[in-house]
Structure 1
Amino acid sequence: MATSGLSSDCSQCFGLCCVLLPFSASAGFGVDKAGGTPCHHLRADDGCGIHATLREDGWPGCTVFECFGAGQQVSQVTYGGVSWREQDNLAEMAAVLSVMRQLHEMLVHLDEVARRSPDPAAAAVRSEIEELTASGPEPLLLADVDDLHARVGALLGVASARVRRRWPAAVDRTRADLAGARLAGDHRGWSFRGALLLGADLTGADLADADLLGADLRGADVRGCDLSTTLFLTQPQANAALGDPATTLPDRISRPGHWRAE
């Protein structure tokens, strides 16, 4: 299961992603929708009217999206349980949700550093970000998120290098264009940071300790792969890939429901 508090809990959210975020049919969301406009499938109780059949009904984008728990944090903490239905500040809420989602994703990665390669500097930055997530809208909107991204990115890079140094023959494919490539085989300790793995064939590949930070795994075939020790794999990346019952995921990642059907 994903880290508590850092994965979406729609029961504690006011359907913020269904209202505040823009989306398009071409990205797998069924229709084009402007930000600040409620999705027509959003019910009065903030549930989704087609949640059980999203992919069958042409909304696979919803099954890939993950807010890392930002939705419930903004709903219940930042705005104190007051729904967007009772406010007239959707633009502000959308901006706050965007910031919170980025902060929560950073927390997810820093938690992995704490598990795999503890570092006092990373722990200090994690505490700083966690404190920011508990603040009100103004501090969140004034936060220098770019600076936080840079600092966290550097810490993740150092942690990754510490973990992967046990694989001296590992190859660096950072930001490589590997779309559609056949990549079965031994990739232990490889860096695929920011790599384009769109539709890549990784069937049965050995990805022990491989760094997947920011890799585009849309349509990547990871059937039979053991991803349990990969670094910085996120729920949206898993959701976007093609797996099967033989695919092993890290404990923090939930198995996508559509994998069994595919």
Structure 2
Amino acid sequence: MTDIEVNETGPAGVAADAYEWLVVQGGPDHAPYAGADEIYHDRDPYGEYILFAATDADAVNEMGQCSIQSYKYLAEVRVSFEEDLLEDARQDIAWCQEEVAEQGHAFASDIWPSWQDVPLEVVSNSIFPEGQDFVMAKSVLAVGEDAASFVEVTRIESDGPSEMALTFCKIEKDRLLEIKTVLKDGGMPIYLWAGLWQELVEKYADLPYEQLTGSKRVEPEPEEYDFGDLDGEDEV
């Protein structure tokens, strides 16, 4: 796979101030932690404690809550002590370790920088076969013994939009710290979205350990459709 050619002046006609983040949790007037049912109006809590959440203004209702369904870009910092979420993170970290051992750091050093000035739709069109449904590309940005950062790009339907997610996860004792941003706006330059994720990682990666209790957890309803593993899954 080749790098995407970067436009050094940035995408034509796209101004940084066209994309603004609205912070709904984590500002000076907010409590240190909040439950998912306090931050989102359409998401059940799953035992997490949210330190920071931000999204685009259109995703926030009149009560100051945001949507987990209809947003253009979303950022969240959370901690959890739920064993199933910890196990998912252990698997992600193990995968990142294996991937770097086999492939090295070529993606992080060469390809990821070439994506910065282009929008999501350009990245998606460059890595996914035309006309193919249910495709995912995943690659490592950094990995250590108990922490990892990785990027995922997914597309469910060939004629539908793609989305990109950046994730930092870290396990300390029985606590999972996860810093994640998701982008669905196909025209947004990657650097305008990824910049906040990088700032959040720098701010929260060494969050002091604190045992928290009392969070709500509502088990999700079974999915109406189970697509199983995504076809065409591959590393970027």
Taking structure 2 as the reference length, what is the TM-score of the superposition? 0.28
Between structures 1 and 2, the one with greater helix share: 1
| Higher Cα Rg, which structure | 1
Between structures 1 and 2, the one with greater strand share: 2
